Amino acid sequence: MVGGKQNRIINTTLVILARTSVKVPVSCIQAGRWQHQRAYFDSTGSVFRARSRAVQKATVSASVRENGGFRSDQRAVWNEVSASLDELGVRSDTSDFQEGRERVAHRLEGFVDAIRPAENQIGSIFIDAQGILGMEILGTPALFSQVCDKITGSFAFEVLSAPALNGTSIETIKLWWEKILGSQVTGHDSPGAGVDIRVRAEDRIGSGLFWNGVVVHFSCFPDVRTEDNRPYESE
C-alpha cells in the first residue's frame, strides 16, 4: 500500500464485505517517513519480496496465537527492508522498500513476462538452485490470474543473483506440499469475514483465509529466520 503517512503492507489476507468497516492490520515498510505525501493509498504494482513476507508472516502468526491480534514485529520488518536495500545497493533517505523495487523493476519484469498462468491454474510453487522458495494459492483461476504478476515479482526478488536452475525433481515438490498437508492447522477469528488459518510447523511459515467454503488465499514459505533474530517479539 503506497501513500498515506508511509508505505505499508497488510499483515494478513482479508475478505471485507460490502457496507462493513474493518480495521486493517498493517506494517510500515518506510521507517523514515511519518507525514502525508497524499491522503490515499494504492498498490501501483508494488510487491514485497518473498523472504521478507516470510519473516513478517512468522511474527504475525506468533501474535495471532498469543493474543488473537494481527500485529507484526515492526522492528523485524524494518530490518528486512534495510537488508534488502543494502543488498540492492540502494540508499533511501526514508528507508523505503519501494525505492529498492524500482531499482530492479526491469529485471523483475523479465520473470513476470515469462511466467504466465495456465488454464485453470490456481497457484504456484517457486524453487531455485538452493531449494523451494515458497508457494501461493488463490481460491479460483480468475483470482490467481489477477495477482499472478505480483506473486511472481515477489518470488523473483529471491533469484536476481541466484545461480541458474538446471532442473528439479517433482518428487521434492510433492514431498514439500505433502508436509504442509500433514501439518497442524489452527483457525482464528479474522478481522474481516471468514476464518484466518495458520500452519504450525517447525520449518515453514504458512497462513491463509477460509471463507464461504473456500480457501480464498494461502501462502507458505520456508522459515528463513536466522539464529541472530529469533525469536521475534511483537512490539
Instruction: For 88-98, give one letter per residue: b (16+ CB within 10 A) or e.
Output: bebebeebbbb
In a domain, residue 99? The reply is yes
In a domain, residue 235? The reply is no
In a domain, residue 123? The reply is yes
The CA distances from residue 13 to 50, 74, 118, 210, in Å, are 15, 18, 24, 10
In a domain, residue 133? The reply is yes
pLDDT at 234: 38
In a domain, residue 94? The reply is yes
Helical pair 50-67 and 74-88, crossing angle rounded to 10 deg: 170
Q: What is the pLDDT along the chain (235 residues), one digit of tens a residue?
A: 888 888 889 999 999 999 999 999 999 988 887 777 666 677 766 688 999 999 999 999 999 999 999 999 999 999 999 999 999 899 988 988 888 888 999 999 999 999 999 999 999 999 998 889 999 999 999 999 999 999 999 999 999 888 888 877 889 899 999 999 999 999 999 999 999 999 988 889 999 999 999 999 999 999 876 444 444 343 3
The size of the chain, in residues, is: 235
Residue numbers of the domain that contains 223: 2-229
In a domain, residue 118? The reply is yes
Residue recorded with cell 498515506: 4
In a domain, residue 234? The reply is no
In a domain, residue 88? The reply is yes
Cα(83)–Cα(89) distance, integer angstroms: 10
pLDDT at 45: 65
Cα(86)–Cα(229) distance, integer angstroms: 18
* Domain tally, the chain: 1
